[in-house]
Amino acid sequence: MYLKHFGLSQTPFSLTPNTGFFFGLSPHVEALQVLQMALQTGEGFIKVTGEVGTGKTLICRKLINELPSGFHCAYLPNPYLTPAELRWAVANELGLKYAADMDQQQLTGLIQQQLLALSAHGHSIVLVLDEAQALPDDSLEALRLFTNLETESRKLLQVVLFGQPELDDRLKRQAFRQLRQRITFSYNLRPLTWDEVDAYIRHRLAIAGRAGEPLFNAKLARRIAYASRGIPRLINILAHKSLLLSFGEGATKVQASHVRGAILDTEDASRDAFKAWKWRTYFALALVALSALIFAITVSGVDLLQLWGNRV
């Protein structure tokens, strides 16, 4: 691998969400602030949506790792569950012991008793669901009913939904108007801007142990930003492939040809962005050539208007 070649101690662009590489970029920090404020105020439902690869799972893990004392987290990474399976999963996360033949009504009662007991000891319970767009309709309704569990002063259960934009589309339906009205805080993760992509790449390389001159210059970072559409997962893929190509040629840093090869080898990368960059490059070169020609003529003392008049 290229780690030793580039002076790295770990892989900088892994696809596995790693909170050790978390970078305080504006959209991610804002999302965390919204989540933390909503949890502190005791809201029932909180929602974070974003396109595939924009960093929802990373923010989810960051939130769980940094929950204040007094918060107890129940985490469901795969919520493609029936209502019954959802109740069993919540019971397991709350540490409940129950008989295998317990019916759903008894199980719901047991969950409520556990929530009341935890609340009496000063614990706030947060149910976090990743990939929430996969929840079946009946399970979404079962989730809403969970938030009916409350004391006179507070909710016994707060729910944080992380999902793709399809979740927003589903919640617009009339059937989910009750659930929609209970979502008091929400945040939509946007893609990164090109300068954020540049900072993101440099940050991850620094965390991975890179010292000295940058492996990607600003122009290459911009090409990756355009091709990835600012999506962190695609940025990681393109940067990783660029480093592989650079290492394969024995280069000490990434060159334009390596980024171009990474873009062409990545199915979801934007080829239009690459074409646009190519034409901008040609246009810039043409301007440089024209400027050099004008400068040369000016230095030589040739009158351009007179020269044109002589041709006419």
- Residues 207 and 128 grouped into a single domain: no
Which of 153, 169, 189 terminates a domain? The answer is 189
- Residues 209 and 174 grouped into a single domain: no
| pLDDT reported for residue 220 | 97
Residue 311 covered by a domain: no
- Residues 211 and 103 grouped into a single domain: no
Task: Write down the residue that tokens 């002063």 correspond to.
Answer: 153
User: Distance of CA 195 to CAs 121, 202, 223, 242, Å?
Assistant: 47, 11, 11, 19
- Residues 170 and 269 grouped into a single domain: no
- Residues 143 and 209 grouped into a single domain: no
- Residues 42 and 185 grouped into a single domain: yes
Chain segment 144-159, per-residue pLDDT in tens? 888 887 776 778 899 9
Chain segment 199-257, per-residue pLDDT in tens? 999 999 999 999 988 999 999 999 999 999 999 999 999 999 999 999 999 999 999 99
Which of 189, 218, 235 terminates a domain? The answer is 189
| pLDDT reported for residue 101 | 77
Cα within 13 Å of Cα(128), Cβ side: 24
Q: Which CATH number covers residue 234?
A: 1.10.8
- Residues 174 and 31 grouped into a single domain: yes
Q: Which CATH number covers residue 70?
A: 3.40.50.300
Residue 45 covered by a domain: yes
Residue 296 covered by a domain: no
> 171: how many CB neighbours lie within 10 A of its CB?
21
Its sign, for the CA torsion 243, 245, 246, 248, is positive
Expressed as residue numbers, the domain containing 49 is 26-189
Name the residue among 275, 147, 241, 195 with its Cα closest to residue 23: 195
- Residues 173 and 215 grouped into a single domain: no
- Residues 134 and 212 grouped into a single domain: no
| pLDDT reported for residue 286 | 61
| pLDDT reported for residue 275 | 55
| pLDDT reported for residue 308 | 46
| pLDDT reported for residue 281 | 55
- Residues 211 and 67 grouped into a single domain: no
Name the residue among 159, 174, 225, 226 with its Cα closest to residue 198: 225
Report the DSSP beta bridge partners of residue 91. Answer: none
Q: How far apart are CA 26 and CA 24, in angstroms?
A: 6
Q: How far apart are CA 216 and CA 168, in angstroms?
A: 37
| pLDDT reported for residue 51 | 95
Q: What angle do CA 47, 168, 18 make, to 5 degrees?
A: 50
Residue 86 covered by a domain: yes
Going through the chain in order, the beta strands assigned E by DSSP cover 45-50, 71-76, 124-129, 158-163, 183-189
- Residues 279 and 181 grouped into a single domain: no
| pLDDT reported for residue 83 | 92
Q: How many domains does the chain have?
A: 2
H/E element, 202: helix 194-207
- Residues 139 and 258 grouped into a single domain: no
Both ends of the chain: CA-CA distance in Å?
A: 65
What secondary structure letter does DSSP report for 123?
P
Which of 138, 159, 189 terminates a domain? The answer is 189
Residue ranges of the chain whose pLDDT lies below 70? 152, 272-312
Residue 310 covered by a domain: no
